[in-house]
Amino acid sequence: MAIVLRLVQRYQHSKKQEFMVLERQFAELEHRGILPRGERLIPISSRDPGNTVVWQARFESLAAAEKALNLFETNPEHTALAEQQKHFFEGTWVEFYEVMEC
């Protein structure tokens, strides 16, 4: 069963530039193969406000998605960036979606 993992991050609007600088550093870790590669989405029309970034990726199973979350929590480079970025958060949460096979 395929799973989409979404990390939803709402940041302080006044800190957009600082938040995005750090977000590009997270993306660099993905490009270097240190973290799972995902896509980042910024809402144009959504229930979420414009100061939201959604990182999402598709995994082959819930176990694989949970393994990715564990890597985010244990990788020292990710942890160092997250420690800097957390000061800009208004809220953050994790969502899992089962991909429907119709």
Domain harbouring 44, CATH code: 3.30.70.100
Question: Does 52 map to a domain?
Answer: yes
Question: Does 63 map to a domain?
Answer: yes
Q: How many domains does the chain have?
A: 1
Q: Domain of 83?
A: 3-97
Question: Does 10 map to a domain?
Answer: yes
Question: Does 77 map to a domain?
Answer: yes
In whole angstroms, give the CA distance from residue 11 to residue 15.
7
Question: Does 102 map to a domain?
Answer: no
Rg over alpha carbons for the chain, rounded to the nearest Å, is 14
Q: Which residues of the chain are modeled with pLDDT < 50?
A: none
For position 62, what pLDDT does the model report? 96
